[in-house]
Amino acid sequence: MSRKIGYVTILVKDYDEAIAFYKDILGFEILADNAFGNGMRWVAIAPSANNETSIVLVKADTSDKLARLGSQAANHVFLVIHTDDCRRDYEEMKARGVHFFGEPSDVPWGVEVVFEDLYGNRFDLVQHNGF
């Protein structure tokens, strides 16, 4: 049996605002942006095109979804982004205005730093040391 996680979803206030942030500020790639009418839209993004798992942006179109905007994992890291150079990515993203919680630090598993998206969802940027 073969299984894998294909997509995770992130609630967004506005598709175009979120696309601009993830693409222009974080440097993600837009894998799909398809409108299906009646406000339905499928937007998939990822740090790079070769990811097996991608993020689907979902418009917060109900009061329940709006209440969760930016806090899908409360104050904990929601997603982990792997990189081959945490300090490089930190400097580039910081220069584009990304809010970080501290600076990259050495940890037993590599180098990591936490940042947030435009809505407050927290991400962990991790450079693994090969474990």
**pLDDT at residue 95 is higher than 90:** yes
Per-residue confidence (pLDDT) for residue 131, from 0 to 100? 52
Q: How far apart are CA 74 and CA 91, in angstroms?
A: 26
Beta-carbon neighbour count of residue 1 at 10 Å?
2
The 10s digit of each residue's pLDDT in 29-77 is 999 999 998 878 999 999 999 988 999 999 999 999 999 999 989 889 9
Q: Note the pTM of the prediction, 2 decimals.
A: 0.91
Q: Which two tokens stand for residue 45?
A: 């993004």
Average pLDDT score over residue span 77-93: 96
The 10s digit of each residue's pLDDT in 22-39 is 999 999 999 999 999 887
Q: Which of 62, 57, 46 is nearest to 14 (CA)?
A: 57
From the centroid of its chain, how far is CA 94? 15
Q: Which residues of 27-63 are buried (b: 16+ CB within 10 A; e: fewer)?
A: ebeebeeeeeeeeeeebbbbbeeebeebbebbbbeee
Per-residue confidence (pLDDT) for residue 40, from 0 to 100? 83
- Ordered by start, the domain boundaries in the chain are 7-128
The better pLDDT of the pair 1, 115 is held by: 115
Write down the mean pLDDT value for the chain: 94
Q: Which two tokens stand for residue 52?
A: 């097996």
The better pLDDT of the pair 129, 113 is held by: 113
Q: How far apart are CA 113 and CA 125, in angstroms?
A: 5
Per-residue confidence (pLDDT) for residue 94, from 0 to 100? 97
State which fold the 7-128 domain adopts: 2,3-Dihydroxybiphenyl 1,2-Dioxygenase; domain 1 (3.10.180)
